[in-house]
A and B are shown apart, each in its own frame.
Chain A
Amino acid sequence: MLTRKLWIGIGALIVLSPLGVILPDHFKAESAWGEWGLDEIQKMTGYVPQGFQRLSELWKAPLPDYAFQGWVGKDLFHLSFAYIISAFVGIAIIAGVALLLGKVLAKEHE
């Protein structure tokens, strides 16, 4: 069945996902444009925008940057592990939400 093949494909992408941390590290690439933290902004501009500071600390994500809390600066092996866990957890929740939404929306016909 096609859906089965596609889920296997998604599974393969989960396993391969650490490439998304390994390749940027290998090629010494920085974060995405416009996705810097407070420290980086201060380094680049020489000041911290006032409104930025207030808003940027609004939300503490449970798995920040697809890693575990306090894992900033961990080695690639640990980060790759956290990345795979994050991909799996994220997909489980997203698929669940999408299936639920789809069920609610598709309920009325067929």
Chain B
Amino acid sequence: MHIPDGYLSPATCGVFGAVMIPIWTVASKAVKKTLSVKQVPYLAIGAAFSFVIMMFNVPIPGGSTGHAVGGVLVAVLIGPWAACIAVTVALVIQALLFGDGGITAIGANCFNMAFVLPFVGYYVYRLIRSDSPAGSNRRVIAAGAGAYVGICVAALCTGVEFGLQPLLYHTANGQALYCPYSLNVAVPAMLVSHLLVFGWVEVIVTALVVKYLEKQGSVFFEGGRF
């Protein structure tokens, strides 16, 4: 789901950069309000987890590869705003150090994986979790469902961003200037692979860790608050 340099036009990159700036600002303020010094290590662990879980490329035999993001898990544990910051840190380092995701596409990639994914996932989790008690299986299921919906909606956004490019930017003879695949190809490619395979990887990772932490008697499943 990491859009490389070259697939999005400079204007598209600018739009997503401009969209992310207020989101990052609000995220910093929200985290400032709720983050206590004791909880800072969990922000770092969340960022580190998201980074390393994205390295586990899962193959579709003979097809493409994909991976979990871990962003919904982080959102469930430390809140969606803190998750936004944690995943952003991971994505920026991935782009700069490893060329995974373009530097011009940092805004778009953060929009998909550090904003849409944790927030959609978190609110699905909250909806299903309802007021079920800490340690209940319902919370594990809610986290898994949030993970699935979160990563699939993020994949849909990525597909739309790819797919709009050839419609908006092409030469007079119809050659694309950036991503060559239109909505009718990009959206199904991104969405179906996540609905069928990579979404389930995110579910398994999320549910397993939440289940483990519940067994540890962790107290930090307290909604958006730390």
Contact = CB atoms under 8 A, between A and B. Distances in A.
A102 B4 contact: no
Nearest to B7: A34
Interface in B95-116: 95-100, 102-104
B39 A106 contact: yes
B60 A29 contact: yes
A53 B94 CA distance: 21
Interface in B42-63: 42-49, 51-53, 55-63
A102 B28 CA distance: 9
A86 B52 CA distance: 10
Interface residues of B, number: 76
Interface in B23-78: 28, 31-32, 35-49, 51-53, 55-67
Contact of A105 (B32, B52, B169): B32
A47 to B, nearest CB: 6
Q: Which of A49, A59, A91, A99 has the most CB of B within 10 A?
A: A49
Given A51-B9, A51-B178, A106 B61 contact: no
Interface stretch (B85-93, B124-132, B134-142, B146-154): B85-93
B189 A29 contact: no
B153 to A, nearest CB: 17
Contacts of B90: 94
A13 B49 CA distance: 9
A44 B3 CA distance: 18
A97 B31 CA distance: 15
A110 B36 contact: yes
Contacts of B2: 32, 35
By secondary structure, the A interface counts as helix
Contacts of B195: none
A32 B97 contact: no
Nearest to A88: B52
A56 B98 contact: no
Interface string B9-22: 11000000000000
B203 interface: no
Contacts of A50: 171, 175, 177
B49 A10 contact: yes
A98 B44 CA distance: 5
Nearest to A41: B180
A90 B56 CA distance: 14
Given A33-B190, A53-B6, A61 B98 contact: yes
Interface of A: 2-3, 5-7, 10, 13-14, 16-17, 19-21, 23-24, 26-35, 38, 41, 44-45, 47, 49-66, 83, 86-87, 89-91, 93-95, 97-99, 101-103, 105-106, 108-110
Interface of B: 1-7, 9-10, 28, 31-32, 35-49, 51-53, 55-67, 85-86, 89-90, 93-100, 102-104, 158, 162, 169, 171, 175-181, 186, 189-190, 193, 213, 216, 218
